[in-house]
Structure 1
Amino acid sequence: MAGPVRSEDATPRDDAIRLLARREYARAELRDRLAAKGHALEAVEACLDALVEQGLQSDVRFAESFLRSRVARGQGPVRIRAELSRRGVDDATARGAFDEAGGEVDWFELAATTLARRFSGPGQEPRERARRERFLAGRGFDFDQLRHAMNHAWDDA
Structure 2
Amino acid sequence: MAFAQPSLKGRALRLLAMREHSRAELERKLRAHEQEPGTLKRALDELQARGFIDEQRVADSVVNRRAPRLGAGRIKQELQAKGLDAERVALAVASLKATEVERAREVWRKKFGELPADAAARAKQARFLAARGFAGDVIRRVLGGDDTLG
Correspondent of 1:31 among 2, 24, 27: 27
TM-score w.r.t. the length of structure 1 is 0.84
Report the equivalent of 1:3. Answer: none
Q: d(CA) in 1 for partners of 2:3 and 2:52?
A: 21
Would you say 1:66 and 2:62 are equivalent positions?
yes
Q: Aligned pair count? A: 149
Q: Residues 8 and 63 from structure 1, CA distance in 2 versus in 1: closer, same or farther, beyond 3 angstroms? A: farther
Amino acid at match of 1:48: L
Q: d(CA) in 2 for partners of 1:70 and 1:28?
A: 20
Correspondent of 1:94 among 86, 89, 92: 89
Q: Percent identity, aligned pairs only? A: 29
Amino acid at match of 2:24: A
Would you say 1:10 and 2:6 are equivalent positions?
yes
Report the equivalent of 2:77. Answer: 82
Runs of 4+ with >6 A deviation: none
Q: d(CA) in 2 for partners of 1:83 and 1:103?
A: 14
Q: Which consecutive unaligned segments of at least 5 residues does structure 1 have?
A: 1-5
Report the equivalent of 1:118. Answer: 111
CA-CA distance at 1:124 after TM superposition: 1.2
Report the secondary structure of 1:55's partner residue: coil
TM-score w.r.t. the length of structure 2 is 0.88
Q: Residues 96 and 154 from structure 1, CA distance in 2 versus in 1: closer, same or farther, beyond 3 angstroms? A: closer
Q: d(CA) in 1 for partners of 2:19 and 2:146?
A: 33
